[in-house]
Structure formats: structure tokens, C-alpha cells
Chain A
């Protein structure tokens, strides 16, 4: 999809952390029993269903735990339609729903040792003991968002596409140099 553009159009900002638009990203919503969904993920992508509030990562992409009956598969943008079709096939007649939602959200990457401090300025979340591969859905300032920890200092954030600009600006604003707090050390 050569003409696919993300809402943030490659925006970047640097301050307490490096903040970057992840660009067009493939996403597939799966609704249904997690055991059932896990089986199809395993057969199609070699991934499994994550534990509660966790992310499973593999070569094909990531699987995010969204709710007791919802997962979100994150994968390269161009592969989403075919993977969705394959998952649909693998699920067969089972009660499950597959929907491509690659364009419905903005994906951002945050990196740097102060990422938790920046997030804590906008999210009512306790990041102490937040593990690698852990995910939290909450709000960023006034809108819904989810964050997950991909490595010690690398985090990913998703929010709805229409408010991507708002979330990016809010993070960039509170992440400006001079706002260091040293809350999470």
C-alpha cells in the first residue's frame, strides 16, 4: 500500500525521551475465547494468546491482550489483510470475529530511561514494577490509550487515529527538557 499514510506522518520529537510515529502499522482485532484465538494465532503466525495484560512477541509480530475476549495483533502493515483472511479461515465456524483495524489507530514509540516519568505525567498508572511485555490500557491525558513495554527503555503506545496528533503533542509537551522528575529510577 504505497499511498498509506499514518496520522502522524512520521512525526518525531526529542526531549526527556525520543518520541516517534511508528508509521503505518498492521493491526487486527480478534474477538472471542482466548483459547480459540490462541489456536488460530499459533497455526497462522506461530504466536500464542498472551496472559492477562501481557504481550506476546514473535517474528511475525505482537499479540496484545486487550480484554478477556479481545486481542490485538500488531504486524507489518501490508501483511494484515492476508493474515486476517488466514485467521478467519483457521477459526472456521467458531464464534469469533476478525477485523482489520490497521488504520484505526496511531502507533508511537517512546524510548529513553525517562519514559516512565513522561508517561506518568499523563497516565494515572503506577509504572513501578511494570514488566517487559506488560501492557496497560488507560488514558493519556483526556483520551484512551494503551502502552506496553518492549524492552527496558523502549515502549509502544496506541491510541485512536483521530487523536494521534493530540497524544503526540501532549507527550512532547510534558517531555520537554527541564521537566525531569526522577520518579522512576
Chain B
């Protein structure tokens, strides 16, 4: 059983015990422990159940590569599933629960799956649930979803109460990995005057050297690391970041680094995680190497661990993983574990070496220390259940039929050699070479990922570059299966990917079934697709696949390395963007007034516009009707601030305006307004609005609320990229002005009551004129335009006075029954008048002619944007759908977007249609449903009754009518 040793543990502080709980049971660890070392120190070897077979699982590794030991951490608003115990720093009061079992970790009903393994082979889900199709959605998927998955999702009602942030940083050299190679690289770069960021994913620096007790430059590794780190921290051009994992390397030197600022201090008033968005000139991957497991039967049993992890626990945390430990290896490095444990007084059952002879210095030292070494041997089978009780040995080069000895032990270390961590090299396309001697992929320095300058921007140093520092050791023996000719029974118990329960036999089955590509095999078997992304399993898996395909490993290649290296939190990805600042919310100067009046909001781009202002007990529909009636009968106020307002000015401004708009704008008189259309080069309607000519050389263009930024950019595009010799400036004045529409028969009286120096009389200020002056003591520009058919003025005032002016209007209008109205009333009133709305009547395929707007298309101009597009055959076809009004025979409201079906099918086998509804409302003015729609050859079919789909099924009859339903003669607006 694992236990805490009486001495040792370079990272722990035995004077600071920390209590934590695992599945409710209180355990004790020390400051400096990880949750993994705390659990092992407290004798907890069994930590979870596997994904598919629910087999008992223990801790395998000591770092980010851990596949098994995932737990639910914290509770309530801080609960988080699938947290790796090996990378979780212990703190007082930590609460962890194991996952993927029911009813308990020790007794799990789901473990029945392990007895059914013959029936759950690779591709089981694909093969079994493929048909009948409808069952997938309603039967199979819900069941599979319930039984699959690892940790449970946090309670839907809780919200993460921690804060997260991001940080943009820049450096010449970013170094990922704080081992000796990383520290050396940082020192070299820093001393050369470069800006350096050095990251280390764990809380402590030094990597393997400090565990293995190497000497560096004549000092102990610990002393060397401490002194060099102190030197780095003292340099102004160096940023040293512990607990920071470089998650991904992206194009042009961009890297994401994930800093776990306060995971070890829950409740601290700090951001929990910080995502560093680093732009680096060079990225140095000093990410070390990961030890490979060996594939033998029962290698997934709790107590079977990586050999180097076992010495990590002993040296760093003073924890022995067992009382009697056996080690199985194909290389010399694993002997270090035996030696270190032996020194600490842990009994070593034997070192089992697959090589015919173990002749290196380390085996010699082991023998000298009295450790038994068994050569040419393999683990045939691990005995035990929830923990190891012994290992059966056979000859390595056999099928495992003959057991020559059974060793009693309660833990087994395994080492299959080391693989450089090449993820960061590969994320952006760095290529790999196969190293025969080490049996691993290493970076090919001639094929690095390329940066913006066409030069390589990632390099690997130290073990990540394949420099394992084992030149003095005896050669390792590549071992992909143990014993070499293991029988099917053994292969079906030999795990490659313990998290996803993928075994040697599964990969071999995939190969037999025709999966030749490693990418396909990965997806079919799910090898390496678990949360550890196959850090331990990939090389072993593709070696097995290569063997099954009868081809060398480099020909099989690797799967694609994708960021993040280890999972990062959604909080870090989100950063500050949550709650009120999830998205920018654009507010008009009157926003708070609307809110105080209980406005129901409608999102328009990032703006919020009042949809209506319901009074107590009033439905939205009732509020809209009231607002329309009040406006049509008295006077209403609309916040129109969101409309785009773009100044176009210069000697060539008229010429430019004539290109932008379909109509002639250069002839507009100063002081006058004109409604205009803008099309894209396809001829499709893009935006509309009223243009006012401000002076000889300047025009003010109103755009739709959603179109302001787009149209401003569109204008700049043409001026900068096509007509750059034209003397025109455009200035986006959208936000400079608050704009308020004062609408209704009493609108003039309201403005007159405000007083000022502008003559508002009908004669001197007719429809489609604009004037500026003082209105109620505020500098104002008034446009006499109407989108409702009523007498209407749109008043622009400086935004900083918008609210004050709005309130002045309300006060002045009180005696006339003034009230604010929202966007829905605006929409209904414009539809009653048959005015189109960009986005309702247009959808990016509609030309102005479709909407009966031929009057707004100049025939005198040689050119304007969209003119050529409109001349195309399809645009002048008599078969186009065109705008008409629609009136249901029963007065009901047509469904929005409803199609008018016809019998028969078109060339694509779809039902024939002859039109669709584009705008549809209940008109309180007319007391019935009104609609506009695009209908095949519609204007020639006035009076005809056609059928539209009803929302509830069936059809509704509607008569084709003129789109203007209200005051066709315009008597109400021209007063």
C-alpha cells in the first residue's frame, strides 16, 4: 500500500499539515503536496473508474500526462469535474470526489461492462447503433449519454463565482518549460538583452534534474535551479511565470499560456485563471519528455505506475507507492527509481528487464545495491484487483504461455522509454523525424513551423529535442507489446489508453477492419481522444497499428497535435466577458430613461432599442396599439439616435454621392432632403435612408441603425481603394447626435411650444426640408421627414443634451398627450404606409425594382454602384417576385415569412411557391391584419386572392392589394 515515508520530500513542509477529504473521508497531507501525493501518502491507491468498462483505476503519472486520476473538485459554485489530481496543488479544506461509478468507488454496478468486454469492441457504438436511424435520437443517444462521460456537469443552477482574465504580452523569446533546458535558454536570451517570458506548468522549477539528483555546473541541481532562477527574476527583461502552461502555439509567434493564479488559494481575492495571449519572436519548447507505459496484461490496475513518477513521489513528496515495488523496463533509466526507493528503505522486489542483458552502469549500481535484476523477462499478467498483489513473469520473446515466476509486490513501476514532448513544435506545422535509437519522434530542425517572415519560430531544447541525457546508458529495446508475442487473451487485457479503455486488441481489430490511417484509427477506437489527448498512449498505439499494418512506424506517422496541450478552463477563455460586459451594449443618451419607463428591449446590433413601453397590466401588443393610436391621433416621440449619420464632404462629394446612391443626389438643393437607396455591385439593395444636403459641398447621409458602421466602411473602401483621386471626406457622425422623431398631428404644436428661432410653419418649412437653429434653447437640426405617414420632424441635437432635450419635448407635449413609442409601433406605422424596411423586405437578393422603387433609380446616370448588376438577365426577368400589399379575407394576421404554395414541384423537387410574406402586423389603425410580401409578378395581379401557409397548418386566403394601406394621398404628412 502507498504510504508517507518518515523522511524526504523536497517540496513538502511537514510542519504544515493540510486536511482534505476524498469521497467524504478526511485525509492529511502537507503544504507542497499535490492532491495525488496527498492521496498516495494517505494510502488511497484506488481513485476512479474507467470510462467504458468501469475498471478500478489508480494514479499512473505525476504530472499533466495523467490519464486516470480525474476527480470532481470543490462544491457548489466552485465545483469542477475532471480535475487531474496530479496537477492539483493541495490546500486546506480541499474536497474531492471520485467519478464514473455508482453507487460507490469500491462497489460499482457499471463494472459489469468489464465482464462484457467481448461485446464492446472498437467501433462498438458505430456498429451497434447505426440502425434503425430514428432509434438513435430517441433511444440510444439518451442512454449512451447517461452512461458515458466522465465527471458530472456542475449543477445548472450554480454560477462560477470566480473571476478570470486575459493579458496581452509581448516578448522576443517565450520559453515553455522551467526545467534545466528552459532555464538555460532563458538565461542565454536574457543575457543577450532579449525580452524573455519563462513559463513552468507546475509550481516548482527544475524538471527532472532536481528529482534525479543530477549535478549541474558543479552544483546540486536544486542549488543551481535556485540560483539561476533568482538571477532571472532579478532581470528587468525577464518575466518568470510558475503555474503557467503554454497551451498552444499559433501562427506568427502567437501563443496562449494558461496561468493558474489562484487554484491553490480558493476564495482569494484574485483572478482564478489568467490566459496570457503572448506574441513572441521565438518560442522555445523546453517541455521535456514523457515516459511511456508498457503494454502488458493488467497494466491498468491501481498500483501500476510510470517508473519515473514513482521516484517523483518519493523524492518530491516523501511518498512510497508501495511496501514492495517491482519495476519493469526496457531501458536503464528505470533503475534510478529502484535505486532511489532502495535508498529510502522501500523493498524492491526486482527489476524486470526485457533486454537479454542489462549491462549498463545503472543496472550495475542496482546490483551493487543488492537489487535483484531479472533479464530477458516480461510481465505476463498483473495479479490483483483494486490493487496489485503480484506479477507473473515470462520470457520477453514468448507468447506468455509459460510463467517462470510470480513476484509478490504491491506496486509495479513500468518504463517503456521516453517520448519528447513535441506538441508545441507541432501545433503550427513543425515536422518530426523518427529516432530509431530512442524509438521516438523528435523535431526535424530543417522543417520548423514558419512565421510571418518565412523563418522558423519554434525551437526545441533539451529532452523535448530528443536529448535525453542518456548517452552513457546502455541502449533501450523498443517494446510495444509484452511479451512480444502475447496471446489474444493477454492483448485484450493490455491497455494502451486507460482513460478511454482502448486496448492493444482494439487497435489490431481496427487494422484488420481496414483502418490504415492513424487519424481514422484514432477516431474509430477513440485511442488518444480522452482528456489527456493520448500523452501516454499515442506512440504505443501507433506502434501497434504499424505492426498490424506491417509497415515501419514513421510510415504510419502521428495524429495531429492540436492545442491546448492540457485542457484549459472555459473561464480563462471567456476572460472578463461575462455578465454585464459579455458583449458591448450600445446605449443612446436616453437609454436610462427608457429603462426607467419599463421599456421592453429589442436588440438592434449591439444597441438596445425600446420595442414598446408597456404600462402596468398591459401586454406588449396592447402597448404597441396604444402607442400607435396616441401617435396617429396626437403626438409620439421615438428615440431614433441609432440611425447612422454620415457626413460626405468635398469638391467631388456630389459625384461620389451619385455613385453611392441609385438616385441622383448631386442635384439635391441645399436645405432639402431626399430618400435614397444604396445597392451593392450585384444590384441588391443594401441600405436606405434620407439624405440631406447641408451645403454646396456637403451631404448628410442617414443609414439604417444596423448599417451605420457598415456603410461608413463601404464609403471609405470606395474612396480609398477605387476613387482615391476624388476629393471627398466622409466622417461618421452617428454618435455625435441624439435624434428624436416627433410624430403626429400635434407634432408642430409641440415644437412651437418649445420656442426658438426656426419658423416651423407649413409654408416656410415644408415636407422634405431641413433647418437648423435653436429649439427650446438647444442647438438643433430639424429634418421634416416621415416614416409613419404623419406630420413628423426628426430633431438632431448634440448627444450630451439628448436626454435633456427629450425631457423638454415630453414637458412641452404633455398638454397634447405626448408619449414615447417603440420600434414595434414604428414598424407597424411604416407598414401601414407601405414603406419598406431593410432586412424585412430585403434579404440580400432583392433589387430596388422588386420593391417598386424604380422611381428612386436614376435613368440619367451612366454609372452607380449596382447599376451593372441590375442589368443582368435574371434581374430584368418578368418572373421576379415583386412587392405587393396583402390583406387576408378574414382580417387575420398572416404568419411572418409564410410562403404562398402552388401545386407541383420545381426542378429541385421542392414544392412550387409563388410568393412569401415579408412584413406582417395587426394594424390598430385599420383594425385588421396587414402585410407586405413578394409575389410572382405581383403588381400585375391586383385584386387576385392567393393562398398562404398558416402558422397552424392549412392555408389562409389573402388578396393582393396596393402596399400602401393608409392615407394614400399623403394628406396627413403634408400639413
B547 proximal to A (CB < 8 A): no
Contact B270 A124 (CB under 8 A): no
A137 proximal to B (CB < 8 A): no
CA distance A70 to B586 in the complex (A): 25
Partner-binding segment picked from A47-55, A115-123, A148-156: A115-123
Q: Which residue of A lies closest to B800 (CB)?
A: A4
Contact A3 B801 (CB under 8 A): yes
CB distance from A91 to the nearest CB of B (A): 12
A174 proximal to B (CB < 8 A): yes
**Known contacts A166-B585, A183-B239; is-contact A31 B163 (Cβ 8 Å):** no
In the assembled complex, which residues on chain B have CB atoms less than 8 Å from the CB atom of A100?
A: 736
In the assembled complex, which residues on chain B have CB atoms less than 8 Å from the CB atom of A161?
A: 589, 735, 799
In the assembled complex, which residues on chain A have CB atoms less than 8 Å from the CB atom of B399?
A: none
In the assembled complex, which residues on chain B have CB atoms less than 8 Å from the CB atom of A142?
A: 577, 583-584
Contact A102 B271 (CB under 8 A): no
Main secondary structure of the interface of A (DSSP, over half): loop
In the assembled complex, which residues on chain B have CB atoms less than 8 Å from the CB atom of A121?
A: 165-168, 576
**Known contacts A99-B647, A123-B168; is-contact A105 B735 (Cβ 8 Å):** yes
In the assembled complex, which residues on chain B have CB atoms less than 8 Å from the CB atom of A165?
A: 585, 587
Contact A7 B163 (CB under 8 A): no
- Of A1, A6, A97, A179, which one neighbours B647 at CB under 8 angstroms? A97
A58 proximal to B (CB < 8 A): no
B737 proximal to A (CB < 8 A): yes
In residues 536-592 of chain B, which contact A (Cβ within 8 Å)?
A: 576-577, 580-581, 583-589
A29 proximal to B (CB < 8 A): yes
Interface string of B705-736 (1 = CB under 8 A from A): 00000000000000000000001010101111
In the assembled complex, which residues on chain A have CB atoms less than 8 Å from the CB atom of B166?
A: 121
Contact B588 A162 (CB under 8 A): yes
CB distance from B287 to the nearest CB of A (A): 23
B607 proximal to A (CB < 8 A): yes
CB distance from B323 to the nearest CB of A (A): 45
Q: Which residue of A lies closest to B720 (CB)?
A: A69
CA distance A124 to B586 in the complex (A): 22
**Known contacts A29-B731, A104-B735, A178-B268; is-contact A5 B803 (Cβ 8 Å):** yes
Q: Which residue of B lies closest to A9 (CB)?
A: B592
A36 proximal to B (CB < 8 A): no
B811 proximal to A (CB < 8 A): no
- Of A104, A123, A124, A169, which one neighbours B799 at CB under 8 angstroms? A104
- Of A103, A183, A185, which one neighbours B798 at CB under 8 angstroms? A103
Contact B167 A183 (CB under 8 A): yes
**Known contacts A97-B731, A162-B607; is-contact A179 B798 (Cβ 8 Å):** no
CA distance A148 to B277 in the complex (A): 22
Contact A102 B170 (CB under 8 A): no
B436 proximal to A (CB < 8 A): no
Among the interface residues A117, A141, A162, A183, which one has the most CB atoms of the partner chain B within 10 A? A162
A86 proximal to B (CB < 8 A): no
Among the interface residues B271, B588, B647, B800, which one has the most CB atoms of the partner chain A within 10 A? B800
Interface string of B154-171 (1 = CB under 8 A from A): 000000000101111110
A143 proximal to B (CB < 8 A): yes
- Of B271, B277, B778, which one neighbours A124 at CB under 8 angstroms? B277
B236 proximal to A (CB < 8 A): yes
Interface string of B204-239 (1 = CB under 8 A from A): 000000000000000000000000000000001001
In the assembled complex, which residues on chain B have CB atoms less than 8 Å from the CB atom of A176?
A: 163
Q: Which residue of A lies closest to B802 (CB)?
A: A103
Contact A103 B736 (CB under 8 A): yes
CA distance A99 to B269 in the complex (A): 46
CA distance A174 to B274 in the complex (A): 11
Among the interface residues A4, A6, A95, A161, which one has the most CB atoms of the partner chain B within 10 A? A161
Interface string of B242-269 (1 = CB under 8 A from A): 0000000000000000000000000011
A101 proximal to B (CB < 8 A): yes
B651 proximal to A (CB < 8 A): yes
B689 proximal to A (CB < 8 A): no
Contact B580 A169 (CB under 8 A): yes
B649 proximal to A (CB < 8 A): yes
B804 proximal to A (CB < 8 A): yes
Contact B800 A103 (CB under 8 A): yes
In the assembled complex, which residues on chain B have CB atoms less than 8 Å from the CB atom of A163?
A: 584-586, 606
Contact B587 A178 (CB under 8 A): no
CA distance A31 to B731 in the complex (A): 8
In the assembled complex, which residues on chain B have CB atoms less than 8 Å from the CB atom of A96?
A: 729
Contact B801 A1 (CB under 8 A): yes
In residues 133-185 of chain A, which contact B (Cβ within 8 Å)?
A: 141-143, 160-163, 165-166, 169-170, 173-174, 176-179, 181-183, 185
CB distance from A38 to the nearest CB of B (A): 17
CB distance from A145 to the nearest CB of B (A): 11
CA distance A31 to B164 in the complex (A): 41
In the assembled complex, which residues on chain B have CB atoms less than 8 Å from the CB atom of A117?
A: 167
- Of A4, A97, A101, A104, which one neighbours B729 at CB under 8 angstroms? A97
Q: Residues of A at under 8 Å CB distance from B?
A: 1, 3-7, 24, 29, 31-32, 69, 95-97, 99-105, 117, 120-126, 128, 141-143, 160-163, 165-166, 169-170, 173-174, 176-179, 181-183, 185
- Ordered by A's residue number, 5 sampled pairs between the chains whose C-beta atoms are within 8 Å are A121-B165, A161-B589, A163-B585, A169-B581, A170-B581
Nearest 6 A/B pairs, CB to CB:
A162-B586, A103-B799, A4-B800, A126-B170, A97-B729, A104-B736
